[in-house]
Amino acid sequence: MSNRVIIFDTTLRDGEQAPGFSMTLDQKRVMARQLERLGVDVIEAGFPIASDGDFESVKAIAEELRETTIAGLARTTRKDIDRAWEALKRARKPRIHTFVATSDIHLKHKLNKSREEVLEMAVENVRYAKSLCDDVEFSPEDAVRTDLEYLCLVIESVIDAGANVVNIPDSVGYSIPDEFAAIIRTLREKVKNIDRAVMSVHCHNDLGLGVANSLAAIQAGARQVECTINGIGERAGNASLEELVMIMHTRKNLLSLECNVQTTEIYPSSQLLTHLTGMKVQRNKAIVGENAFAHEAGIHQDGMIKHRQTYEIMTPQSVGIPESTLVLGKHSGRHALDKRYKELGYDLSREDLNTAYEAFTALADKKKLVYDADLIAIVRDEISQIPEAYTFESLQVLSGSSLTPTASVRLRKGDEIFEDSAIGDGPVDATYKAIERITGVCGKLTHYAIEAVTIGKDAQGEVLIKLEYEGHSYNGQAVSTDIIEASAKAYLSALNRILYTRDHVR
Ligand code: KIV
Ligand code: ZN
């Protein structure tokens, strides 16, 4: 058996469908280009029947990327498959990924169908998909909780009908490594035509075992793994791409597995996703978290100085983390800034570089030292991928222990300036009320967090918020050395997402 593992990235489909991770078409294109640079084999670009927005982004990505296979998801119905094919047909390497649930619990309560009916749907629609596209993947949803004999029958039948990839999802993250490996081994032993298809796995992380289960399956003979950047995905997410790839890379001595991923593109990919969605990974996240290569304890630091490998099993450089974190001062030029951004994984257009440079010089005037984290924050803040309906002009706040907090906000919309004031429980509340009065949009604030971007009293504060609006959740983030201003700008960035989605996506 080949030791090459196919990396199937579903950041733009399973990942993007999770609350808080929605992206616009342009953002998905930017992410897809980075995934191709990263070297994944397959990009699942979306679920074309789900919405016009999904359809357009799968189509745009399929038309643009030339190296990577582009997959589109479809249920086992002709309507879904036709829509997926319509979006995919101009891809150089298209794949239709069709799925239907096979566990009794899904059959009874969700589909209201018998096992025979589901088998027939699967076979008929795989055959139909194959008549349109050479590359067809089939997934029996909730495979882990499916009767194993029935699962073998379904898999054998869809391979006969033309599926060249059969994916075994642990859709609810229920399995444990030994059990999941045994399912893969049983399928390899019992399904007579299994050697005519690549066996794939797709593990959710509800019990924190997404990566462990995927690895166990690979060791049992699976040769495609479905995963996402930063492990994003439904509920607790999917198996994390960076963890799986770095396990194969770091423990090659034991596993002897290969994949096509350029490990130095991992960190830039993770940062880009954070930038596009406004969703940070936790500090201690393996591989890409802020603490992943930080050594705090004295004994550890001493060991590191004497010999790095005492406490470091892989280098930060191997995953693309730039070597130093201290960057530039107020005399640094545009060229140095551009070079640093490239090292951080941001290839800015001339226009974006000019915007970033202006923000950088303004910040360097306020702070002596500008760090990488400041530069990343500038990109996140200033170079929004979402067209801004309202832009921030100015803010005045009155607050104190014996004053009623009052905020006056000035916003711009096109050529018009709007101004209003409000009082509130605190300065942030007053500011948000004033913004609501101007824009007429009133979302529910469900999350507000503030943290210093770097060290020092002059550090910028980064505000991350979530607004709930008409059943959907929208992120906003912004940085400033003034935390009330950062709060106002974060609110505005979420609000601009709401307005953009309302007017262009839904
Ligand atoms: O979790 C799941 O079962 C899925 C399938 C569509 C592969 O996402
Ligand atoms: Zn899934």
pLDDT tens for residues 16-58? 999 878 888 988 999 999 999 999 999 999 999 999 999 999 9
Ligand 1 site, residue 8, Cβ cutoff 6 A: no
Ligand 1 site, residue 139, Cβ cutoff 6 A: yes
Judged against a pLDDT cut of 90, whether residue 381 lies above it is answered with no
Ligand 1 site, residue 80, Cβ cutoff 6 A: no
Residue 327 pLDDT: 60
Q: Which residue did the predictor score with more confidence, 464 or 250? A: 250
Residue 35 CA to ligand 2 center (angstroms) comes to 19
Residues in the chain: 506
Segments of 36-175 assigned E as strands = 42-46, 69-75, 94-101, 136-141, 165-170
Residue 155 CA to ligand 2 center (angstroms) comes to 18
Ligand 1 site, residue 169, Cβ cutoff 6 A: yes
Residue 141 CA to ligand 2 center (angstroms) comes to 8
Ligand 1 atom showing the smallest separation from residue 101 Cα? 3
Ligand 1 site, residue 69, Cβ cutoff 6 A: no
Please provide residue 51's backbone torsions phi and psi, each rounded to the nearest 5 degrees: -165, 165
Residue 54 CA to ligand 1 center (angstroms) comes to 17
CA distances from 116 to 113, 136, 154, 157 (A): 8, 22, 10, 12
Site to probe by mutation for ligand 1, drawn from 204, 214, 235 as the one with most ligand atoms within 8 Å of Cβ, is: 204
Per-residue pLDDT averaged across 348-375, rounded? 86
End-to-end C-alpha distance for the chain, whole angstroms? 47
Segments of 224-341 assigned E as strands = 224-227, 326-328
**Whether domain 6-277 has CATH 3.20.20.70:** yes
Ligand at minimal distance from the CA of 172 is 1
Per-residue pLDDT averaged across 97-114, rounded? 98
Of the candidates 426, 427, 434, 440, the residue with the CA atom closest to the CA atom of residue 469:
440
Helix (H) or strand (E) segment spanning residue 11:
none
What is the pTM assigned to this prediction?
0.81
pLDDT tens for residues 234-245? 999 999 999 999
- The residue contributing the CA closest to ligand 1 atom 5 is 141
Residue 171 CA to ligand 1 center (angstroms) comes to 6
Ligand 1 site, residue 10, Cβ cutoff 6 A: no
Residue 15 pLDDT: 97
Per-residue pLDDT averaged across 131-156, rounded? 98
Ligand 1 atom showing the smallest separation from residue 10 Cα? 8
Residue 179 pLDDT: 98
- The residue contributing the CA closest to ligand 1 atom 4 is 171
Ligand at minimal distance from the CA of 139 is 1
- The residue contributing the CA closest to ligand 1 atom 2 is 171
Q: What is the DSSP string of 365-394?
A: HH-S-EEHHHHHHHHHHHS-SSPPSSEEEE
Ligand 1 site, residue 202, Cβ cutoff 6 A: yes
Q: Which residue did the predictor score with more confidence, 446 or 248? A: 248
CATH T-level assignment (fold) for domain 391-505: Double Stranded RNA Binding Domain (3.30.160)
327, 375 Cβ separation under 8 angstroms: yes
